[in-house]
Amino acid sequence: MTVWTPYTARAKDWFETLRDDICAEFEAIEREAGSDAAFEYASWTREEEGLAEPGGGTRGAMKGKVFEKVGVNVSTVHGNFAPGFAATINGASEENPGFTATGISLVAHMANPHVPAVHMNTRFLTTSKAWFGGGADLNPPIPYDEDTEQFHAAFRAACAGHNPTYYDRFKKWADDYFYIPHRKVHRGVGGIFYDHMECADEAAWERNFAFTQDVGRAFLDVFPKIVRRRMDSLFTEQDKLQQLEWRGRYAEFNLVYDRGTLFGLRTGGNIDAILMSLPPEAVWS
């Protein structure tokens, strides 16, 4: 069986580099808007009985003129899944509940309702198996076809460089996943979502890691362009109300259906980092 520890370290290094690049770009946008807002970072440690070094992460958060609330988190943890939860995770079981996980997670809620909110995450996990997962989806309170098409085009190109079937498969997966059944609506205009991209050997790991890196690069390229296009748009009180009502739907999805939220809570993650996806303000009509 492949020993995955060095690969976890490589993935962690990449996720931290991507975080630094994204945070620098978001801070540059704030400067363009005349704001001196900057990310503040807080480290946390995961506790689990019997583990001398259970890992942890760093939570980066910024509240600015353009980014009303944005969080960019990187965590790297290992341990054992709780009884009853292990069987729900790929490659884990009650008899073999051990895991390692490293990943980056980002959610941005924007001040201007014409600027879409966004979510992005990529991760590498090991149990008795090893795999990558992740994706990104655009969440505009006021959708624009131009923004939607540009966002999808970026991820279509990232997918095309690796497998001609990826985009259609992962777009459908996102459409199916980011859906609020009790509202019968999607939470946004989609993107891509993939999971359990398994690494049977070193060659497969390299292929899947390269794809995951390209997903991160596609996000870093496309989302700032959309922000800069919309961030100076004039908006009305009705536009703001529409944004706040949409945020309520977003919160419902993340608290009721999102697997990442559940994973973080069930593995002893940092509560502030897990719930950074929630909007700073929302309404329910």
Residues annotated catalytic, as ranges: 119
Residue 42 and residue 58 in contact, taking contact as beta carbons nearer than 8 Å = yes
Task: Quote the tokens at residue 248.
Answer: 């309520």
Neighbours of 94 (CB within 10 A): 11
- Give the pairing of strands 117-126 and 190-198: unpaired
Residue 66 and residue 35 in contact, taking contact as beta carbons nearer than 8 Å = yes
CA separation for the pair 197, 217 (Å, rounded):
18
CA separation for the pair 246, 258 (Å, rounded):
17
Angle, CA 107 vertex, CA 258 and CA 178 arms, to 5°:
35
Residue 195 and residue 74 in contact, taking contact as beta carbons nearer than 8 Å = no
The CA distances from residue 201 to 127, 130, 142, 208, in Å, are 14, 9, 44, 11
CA separation for the pair 74, 122 (Å, rounded):
10
DSSP 111: S
